[in-house]
């Protein structure tokens, strides 16, 4: 063919996903929202470990929930050893 091969940077965009999925909010899937009781929370971070949607945010002091992505599965509330997370209907 005589053509030089194209590098991956020159491929049409259809071959490569090019936007971060953080632009896609999955929070609207939710039926129940996790609500954290900061008084009860012992900062063990088990909720952070088990969250499938990276929606538990740890700032070094306290945890919070990122409702943009939380799908409301309820794993955090179920696994919390001190029951500091409650699932509340939206």
Partner 1 sequence: MSGKIVFNIRELAKRPPKLLPGHRLCAGCAAPIIAKLALLATDRPTIVVNATGCLEVATTIFPYTSWNVPWIHNAFENAASTASGIEAVIKALKKKGKYKYENVDIIVFAGDGGTYDIGLQSLSGALERGHDFLYILYDNEAYMNTGIQRSGGTPLGAWTTTSPAGRVIPGKTQHKKPIADIAVAHRIPYVATATPAHWMDFMRKVRKGLDVNGPAFIHALSPCDRGWRFDTSETIEVCKLAVDTCYFPLWEFENGEWRLTDRSLAIARNPRLKKPVEEFLKVQGRFKHLFKPENRHLIEEIQRHVDAIWEDLLERTGIK
Residue numbers at the binding site for partner 1 (CB under 8 A): 13-14, 17-26, 29-30, 43, 45, 48-55, 58-60, 66, 68-69, 71-75, 77-79, 87
Q: Residues 6 or more apart from 13 whose CB is under 8 A from it?
A: none
- Quote the tokens at residue 34: 């996790």
- Comparing CB distances to partner 1, the nearer of 30 and 84 is 30
Q: How far is the CB of 58 from partner 1 (least distance, A)?
A: 4
> What is the rounded CA–CA span in Å between residue 81 and residue 90?
24
SS3 86: strand
Q: Which is nearer to partner 1, 6 or 19 (CB)?
A: 19
């Amino acid at each position: 063919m005589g053509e030089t091969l194209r590098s991956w940077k020159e491929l049409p965009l259809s071959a490569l996903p090019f936007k971060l999925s953080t632009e896609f909010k999955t929070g609207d899937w939710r039926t129940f929202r996790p609500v954290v009781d900061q008084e009860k929370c012992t900062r063990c971070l088990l909720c952070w470990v088990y969250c499938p949607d990276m929606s538990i945010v740890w700032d070094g002091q306290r945890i919070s929930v990122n409702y943009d992505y939380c799908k409301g599965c309820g794993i955090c509330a179920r696994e919390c050893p001190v029951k500091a997370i409650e699932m509340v209907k939206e």
